[in-house]
C-alpha cells in the first residue's frame, strides 16, 4: 500500500473533523458516562464495514467495465474532497452535545450501528474516497485493496471515537467554554481536505 501514510493521515483528519457521528459519541458520553460513549464509538465504527463492502464491490465492477470510468470517479472524488473542505471553511462551528435519555448499552450500540448504516452520505463518501488510494494495476485485486483500506479506516475510527467517548465530559466542557473552537476545528479540517483533494487531482 504505497499511500498508506497519506491514507491514514487523511482518515484521522476526517474522523476528527466535527460531524454528526463524533458529536453523537460525545453526547452519549456526556449524558450516560464513558461506557456509553465507548459503546457508541464501537457501534459507529462497526457500521463502516457495511459501507466498505458496498464501495469495494461497486468500484471493482466499475474498474472491470471501464478503466476510463475509474479515472473519472477518481477526479470526482478529488472534487468531492475539495467541496467538503470549502464547506468546512464556511462553517460557523459546531453545536455542543446536549442531554440524551439513558438507554441500555446494547441499545446504544444497536442505534449507533444502524445510524451509520442508514446514512447514504457515508456510502457516497466511501465510494469516492477509497478509490483515491487504490492502485488498479497493483498486484492485489481492487476489491481486496478496498477492503483493506476500509478495515484501516475502521480501526482508526475505533481509536479516535473511543477517545471522544472516554473523554466526553472533558471535551464537552472545553467546547462549551470555547464556542469559537468549533470554527477553527472546521477551518483546519477544511484546509486539510482541500490540500488532499488537490493532491489527488494532480496525481498520475
Q: 93-136: per-residue pLDDT in tens?
A: 544 444 456 778 888 899 888 878 876 667 777 877 787 788 77
For residue 156, the model assigns a pLDDT of 93
Q: Is residue 198 one of the residues assigned to a domain?
A: yes
Of 179 and 54, more confident: 54
Please tell me the predicted confidence (pLDDT) of residue 21: 78
Q: What is the mean pLDDT of residues 64-72?
A: 69
Rounded to two decimals, the pTM is 0.69
Among 1-15, 49-63, 87-101, 163-177, the range scoring the smallest mean pLDDT is 87-101
Share of the chain above pLDDT 70, in %: 72
Query: Is 113 a domain residue?
Result: no
Higher pLDDT residue, 163 or 122? 163
Kindly list the distances between the CA atom of residue 159 and the CA atoms of 6, 16, 69, 82, 129, in Å, as whole numbers in the listed order: 18, 11, 35, 26, 20
Residue 102 lies in a domain: no
Instruction: Quickly state the pLDDT bin for 63 (edges 50, 70, 90).
Output: low
153, part of any domain? no
Task: Quote the domain boundaries for residue 47.
Answer: 1-97+158-204
In a domain, 186, yes or no: yes
Q: Would you say residue 124 lies in a domain?
A: no
C-alpha cell of residue 105: 448499552
Residue 122 lies in a domain: no
* Count of domains for the chain: 1
Q: Which residues of 41-73 are buried (b: 16+ CB within 10 A; e: fewer)?
A: bbbbbbbbbbbbbbbbebbbebbeeeeeebeeb
User: pLDDT confidence of 42, banded at 50, 70, 90?
Assistant: very high
Q: Please report which confidence band the pLDDT of residue 155 belongs to, taking 50, 70 and 90 as the band edges.
A: very high
Q: Does 79 map to a domain? A: yes
Percent above pLDDT 90 for the chain: 7
Task: Tell me which of 121 and 86 has the higher pLDDT.
Answer: 86
User: 12 near 84, Cβ under 8 Å?
Assistant: no
Which one of 4-8, 38-42, 127-131 scores highest in mean pLDDT? 38-42
Angle between helices 34-65 and 20-32 (to 10 degrees): 160
Amino acid at each position: 500500500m504505497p499511500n498508506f501514510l497519506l491514507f491514514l493521515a487523511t482518515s484521522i483528519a476526517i474522523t476528527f473533523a466535527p460531524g454528526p457521528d463524533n458529536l453523537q459519541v460525545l453526547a452519549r458520553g456526556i449524558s450516560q458516562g464513558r461506557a456509553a460513549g465507548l459503546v457508541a464509538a464501537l457501534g459507529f465504527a462497526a457500521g463502516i464495514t457495511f459501507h466498505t463492502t458496498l464501495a469495494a464491490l461497486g468500484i471493482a465492477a466499475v474498474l472491470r467495465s471501464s478503466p476510463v470510468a475509474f479515472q473519472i470517479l477518481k477526479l470526482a472524488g478529488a472534487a468531492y474532497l475539495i467541496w467538503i473542505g470549502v464547506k468546512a471553511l464556511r462553517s460557523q462551528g459546531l453545536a455542543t452535545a446536549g442531554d440524551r435519555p439513558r438507554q441500555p448499552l446494547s441499545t446504544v450500540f444497536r442505534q449507533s450501528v444502524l445510524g451509520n448504516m442508514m446514512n447514504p452520505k457515508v456510502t457516497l463518501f466511501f465510494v469516492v474516497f477509497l478509490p483515491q488510494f487504490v492502485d488498479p494495476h497493483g498486484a492485489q485485486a481492487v476489491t481486496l485493496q478496498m477492503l483493506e483500506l476500509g478495515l484501516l479506516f475502521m480501526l482508526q475510527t475505533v481509536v479516535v471515537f473511543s477517545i471522544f467517548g472516554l473523554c466526553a465530559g472533558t471535551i464537552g466542557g472545553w467546547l462549551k467554554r470555547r464556542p469559537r473552537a468549533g470554527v477553527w476545528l472546521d477551518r483546519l479540517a477544511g484546509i486539510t481536505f482541500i490540500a488532499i483533494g488537490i493532491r489527488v487531482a494532480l496525481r498520475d
